[in-house]
Amino acid sequence: MNKDKFVFFDVETTGLFPDKGDRICEIAAIKVFNNKKIGSFETLINPQRAMPYYAYNVHKISDDMLDDAPAFSVVADSFVDFLENSILCAYNINFDLGFINACLRRCYRPALSLRTIDVLKMARDLLGLKRYKLFMVAEFLGISNPMCYHRAMADSFVVWEVFKRLIDAMKLKSVPDADFLVKRYGIN
């Protein structure tokens, strides 16, 4: 795994369904090499629609905060460039990638085709919990987050911490490599 770059990322959205008009309102990512942060990407995104109250209640991102934020189309190229040659890691990665790829399609850009690891899938495989919300898994693993949950950068850091703890648990059995993780926990 020392030869691979990993990007831990998260999005905040206006709702749950990109195919029904919900959009990204924040995106953040942390690039890691050799278990050290080597870069980050973070921006609010103007979803070009009003923020529903139920979504605001989750992440506290208001319309006022988004007024001067760029549209996804403005940051799409720099975000895709940031991801280049990395393994994408997220908690419930199908959700985040679904939104990113929907935004890319609206910008007439191809969907992402990088290797992936779903950290939620790892947690379900390795931990014997009843529920797997990110904050519950983090608490179970002894991770405290001084930043608030449900903001993209804070959640990206928590996902990275969860990933590291899960890798440590796996090492007790055998040392996993990136190819093993992608095959077992990636999107098929």
- Judge contact between 152 and 10, C-beta under 8 A: yes
Q: Which residues contact 112 (CB under 8 A, 6 or more apart)?
A: 80, 83, 88, 97, 100, 101, 104
Please say if 59 is a catalytic residue.
Answer: no
Q: What is the DSSP string of 109-131?
A: -PPP---EEEHHHHHHHH---S-
Beta sheet of 86-90, edge-to-edge order:
36-44, 24-33, 5-13, 86-90, 116-118
- Judge contact between 82 and 153, C-beta under 8 A: no
Residue 89 token pair: 């890691």
Give the residues across from 7 on adjacent strands.
31, 88
Which of left, alpha, beta for 142 (phi over 0: left; psi -120 to 50: alpha)? Answer: left
DSSP state of 100: H
5, 106, 115, 150: the catalytic one is: 150
Provide the annotated active-site residues: 150
